[in-house]
Structure 1
């Protein structure tokens, strides 16, 4: 009798232990930590610090007031503490501290107990970034007292990205406890020769070194090992896709005469770049190997026209096409923008979104299943069980980074070995495209259609800010249109807010709308408010009024980042621009400059984002901006698994870490057993 078969190795890492084994972590806190991606003690020990703080010497309040955007430490006595309720459970506490050279407010959001903790006469140390909030202030500072002082000047202190009620200090305390109790249980799974090639330590060395660095070089050395984790996660996904069975697609092969006829359908002349990429796609579609192509094109480069060629080619050969976008705004823009081109040449189109009425949806899905629709546009609603195709041959996925790998696969899975065209206006940095998308063919659509006006970008402050209302009034009187973007929806502007209010004010779209409606120039030209909380039918109706020119100004959140094409819109105003990354600012700017007239983008934001704003002023190169955005904000998720937030993944500089990317690219080919860890 043979012995029992050995069990396969457990996928993933040893967990070391549950977080509830740490002091102060009950089930409620463990649930919060899990929402931050921290499920086990090992997860906690491998948490990447978002920055390394070198504690500064204390400075006078007078000197600190001149250092906006910088981190400072001050000490003084609390003169007064005021609690302001701003609706619901929201509140602001302002504690005014004086040291004899000046006064500065310490500002705390939704922490009403700080009013009592910082009562008049309390001596306190405070550390944080200096911001403009009714004068120089420190928002959400870290505090020290005689009993519990702040770290000494020169101390190296990693800081962590908290959230959901979990602070950086709390994470640091739990990490310290985990280090004391479990650091010896950390195991390294990567080959020693690979780590040596990467000039990175093993995890047993890197974990205590990054959380308790003795020197800045030590922190950087440990950081390289931590940086490998997200890189290898990406490469594992790429390797899995490369290893997948290619399948056999239906070829959509057309003759040279058919190609010329399809190109002649456009009411404009294709650019050289569009013609080149169309040739690449035509060749892909003519083969039985399923197309897997990523089309990168800067905002306004004409990607949609290229996608339309692919759709017309497949429809010409009897196949159906699905074009999916992440938002109803973008899906609707594609459907309306391409309707005349497609239906004008005999193709049947439809739009499926979550807001479609039940009867209309039933009619569309029945016609789709019967093959009576050639091209369907839609959002995530295309994933639904009731959406079936008679013969889906091509899936076009726009803004592909907003969909997960599994989601993209679900759409393609509605057909048999479907051709897939992925599109993005958020360029993958040149240094990473091959590494991240090594299993895809990549086309780059550079340049923009001829005959378009210039786009000038200005960081508006001081005199520029004061002159802006007159300039906008002149543009409205000339019949042009304006986007006014405010990242937030419903937070109330302070009583002192006006057209010249400080750019750092956390303005809201609703409040800005009311502010502009009160100005005769804007009111008479027509103005609409658009944000994501509106019912989609109402939101689309308001955007349609702007598209048609019925109103001259739309105040919106970043919902207009993609999918709104209004050639007559020549002005983009972005408030609180410091809250947005370079890629998103560039996307918003791409809403203008689509017509023959010159356009202008005004950035209103805090000085702490000066480097970002200056780069926006200098460059309209989406690839250059994507490289810089990656450096500033981190890799995010180039595979669509995650995107947003600060650089929490260790890739502080993609050029510096490029050697790690290249070293990791072929690791799983040599060591496939390592895949179980990722």
Structure 2
């Protein structure tokens, strides 16, 4: 950055690493230290004045000024003056003073006047880890058009930012900045963030760069791959042919057929080995079953805590849970992680390390069934390639309804009919145990009601060690499953037709969508009931009208405001101060294009 040591220390103290980040520390207010000839009532202003008299009262100091720029007297009042303030006002001295001017009945006063020296400019004030005057000097020495352009910002954006810090004629109103200024701040914030993301990306040589064909295999499948499945597979095929190891995230909605993309990837990697890690034994089993069914000619191994030590060298495709991390693994040219957000970065890195040899790295694909907003997908592309699968192979028929206490009788009737038809019902409660704070029943309080009225009622939750066994048992012979949101990911329950979510307004829309995605997996007519004590909720109403996970993710942003992509969590409260991911897609696009040109 070509900084002096002193500048570097100040940047460090402020927790900033670039001039663009410094420019994003916007002033909290401005002092207009220019001499005006027109008096403004109830405004901070500067007077060029001679001290006519000084009077000390018990708790205050009163000074009579003759203000030359206004041509009349103004009384200055200092409340509880400190000793050093006394010395600033000597009768007969002419100086510049700054304070709040009020006028009543032709009598003007200035409260807390202070002597100032840097006259003639609009001076920004900053709230930061540095004192305001030190910060101002740092801005003056560091914030230049050249410095901002040297970090890649466009000249017109740099100029807009400089206007905020060094306004020429008009004091900016920080509450109502002009649209083009706000856009420049948004652009700069995204530019800085995405530039950091792209700097995080590391390029490694791939262990292998060859690719087998998948098309003959695709023709043998009992269904046709969707256009988006094919597009994702083609993008992966191009990745595999390169010398550089792939880093790609494939994001698909619930039931979008990501499994076929996983299987096609393993097939294209042949004759080289692939490894796939899934977050639960159930998911690993499911993927293993599908792989055996659709890739009959490939040697496939399953690794869970229960598998005995088998020699994995003989297998082309190894599927497992995090139990893989505690095994000696043979070299593999492709690593895949399903439901990647369920694993920490350390676990993903360890898996890569276990199958690598020397400096070269395997190709790496991560799959996620949590759709992300398009804006977020574009931002992610700064450090990883992204494929989106937004369509599903078959249309689900799920009716979503918001229900209240008075609908309970009808709900019971519906549940009876579904169970009699051989279908299953999932009831999601907000908590396991009773709570003082929450006005909804917990699992413990509610289970007796259901167990009394229905047989084959199963119960599970996040802390339940037997969770997977319960789900497998329920799958075979259950009628009703009572659970917390633990079932949101991945488990396939072909007979599940109805989900009832209690206290639905407490959950993010993406979580509701994941839960709704559990039903109608095989084309059954599905029902999703959102039970709430709220009399009305625009958020839930909008949810019932929307079926695409990607649109839901956008709605979630609108209602919850963003999250942190670097940390991979979409919590409420965004790491962006200016950017609104729900609204600013165009700005994200232009930053992405401009960063692309720089490479």
TM-score bracket, normalised by the shorter chain, equals 0.5 to 0.7
Whether 1:411 aligns to 2:351 is yes
1:217 to 149, 161, 176: 176
Match of 2:71 in 1: none
Q: Distance in 2 between matches of 1:546 and 1:475?
A: 16
1:400 to 325, 328, 340: 340
2:273 to 320, 323, 342: 320
Whether 1:529 aligns to 2:471 is no
Q: Residue 301 of structure 1: CA displacement?
A: 0.9
2:444 to 501, 506, 510: 510
Match of 1:372 in 2: 314
Q: Per-residue CA shift, 1:226-251, capped at 9, x if unaligned? A: 9965773344122331xx33413413
Q: Per-residue CA shift, 1:530-568, capped at 9, x if unaligned? A: 212112xx11101111222x1122111211111111121
TM-score of the aligned structures, taking structure 2 as reference length: 0.67
Q: Per-residue CA shift, 1:467-493, capped at 9, x if unaligned? A: 211111111111101111123222348
Where do residues 644-655 of structure 1 align in structure 2 (5 Å cutoff)? Answer: 644-647=571-574, 649-650=576-577, 653-655=580-582
* 1:226–1:474 distance in 2 versus 1, CA, 3 Å: same
Match of 1:250 in 2: 208
Match of 2:389 in 1: 445
Q: Residue 627 of structure 1: CA displacement?
A: 1.5
* CA radius of gyration, larger in: 2
Q: Distance in 2 between matches of 1:488 and 1:613?
A: 20
Q: Is the 8 A contact 1:324 1:397 kept in 2?
A: yes
* 1:572–1:545 distance in 2 versus 1, CA, 3 Å: same
SS at match of 1:392: coil
Match of 1:297 in 2: 252
SS at match of 1:15: helix
Q: Residue 671 of structure 1: CA displacement?
A: 9.9
* 1:261–1:16 distance in 2 versus 1, CA, 3 Å: closer
Q: Distance in 1 between matches of 2:378 and 2:442?
A: 40
SS at match of 2:486: helix
Q: Distance in 1 between matches of 2:439 and 2:536?
A: 14
Q: Distance in 2 between matches of 1:667 and 1:11?
A: 31
Where do residues 160-175 of structure 1 align in structure 2 (5 Å cutoff)? Answer: none
Q: Is the 8 A contact 2:206 2:363 kept in 1?
A: no
Q: Per-residue CA shift, 1:81-100, capped at 9, x if unaligned? A: xxxxxxxxxxxxxxxxxxxx
Match of 1:63 in 2: none
Q: Residue 440 of structure 1: CA displacement?
A: 4.1
Q: Distance in 1 between matches of 2:401 and 2:384?
A: 37
Q: Distance in 2 between matches of 1:624 and 1:657?
A: 15
Q: Is the 8 A contact 2:378 2:592 kept in 1?
A: no
Q: Residue 464 of structure 1: CA displacement?
A: 3.5
Q: Per-residue CA shift, 1:568-592, capped at 9, x if unaligned? A: 1010111121121111111111111
* 1:510–1:493 distance in 2 versus 1, CA, 3 Å: farther
Q: Residue 349 of structure 1: CA displacement?
A: 1.5
Q: Is the 8 A contact 1:489 1:557 kept in 2?
A: yes
2:157 to 182, 192, 197: 197
Q: Residue 299 of structure 1: CA displacement?
A: 0.9
Whether 1:555 aligns to 2:482 is yes
Q: Distance in 2 between matches of 1:432 and 1:602?
A: 29
Match of 1:632 in 2: 559
User: Where do 5+ consecutive residues of structure 2 fail to align?
Assistant: 16-20, 27-125, 167-171
- RMSD value, Cα: 4.3
Where do residues 132-151 of structure 1 align in structure 2 (5 Å cutoff)? Answer: none
Q: Is the 8 A contact 1:203 1:225 kept in 2?
A: no
Match of 2:110 in 1: none
Q: Is the 8 A contact 1:634 1:650 kept in 2?
A: no
Q: Distance in 1 between matches of 2:276 and 2:594?
A: 35
* 1:463–1:390 distance in 2 versus 1, CA, 3 Å: same
Match of 1:102 in 2: none
* 1:229–1:556 distance in 2 versus 1, CA, 3 Å: farther
Q: Distance in 1 between matches of 2:552 and 2:505?
A: 15
* 1:516–1:261 distance in 2 versus 1, CA, 3 Å: same
* 1:226–1:292 distance in 2 versus 1, CA, 3 Å: closer
Q: Distance in 1 between matches of 2:9 and 2:426?
A: 50
User: Where do 5+ consecutive residues of structure 1 fail to align?
Assistant: 1-5, 18-41, 48-176, 207-212, 495-503, 673-678
Match of 1:478 in 2: 421
2:199 to 239, 246, 249: 239
Q: Distance in 1 between matches of 2:342 and 2:274?
A: 20
Q: Distance in 2 between matches of 1:580 and 1:638?
A: 20
Q: Distance in 1 between matches of 2:504 and 2:369?
A: 20
* 1:667–1:251 distance in 2 versus 1, CA, 3 Å: closer
SS at match of 2:375: helix
Q: Residue 449 of structure 1: CA displacement?
A: 2.4
Q: Is the 8 A contact 1:513 1:555 kept in 2?
A: yes
Q: Residue 350 of structure 1: CA displacement?
A: 1.4
Q: Is the 8 A contact 1:235 1:664 kept in 2?
A: no
* 1:449–1:197 distance in 2 versus 1, CA, 3 Å: same
Q: Distance in 1 between matches of 2:327 and 2:237?
A: 27
Match of 1:349 in 2: 301
Q: Is the 8 A contact 1:184 1:204 kept in 2?
A: no
Q: Is the 8 A contact 1:529 1:542 kept in 2?
A: yes
* 1:571–1:13 distance in 2 versus 1, CA, 3 Å: farther
SS at match of 2:314: coil
Match of 1:543 in 2: 471
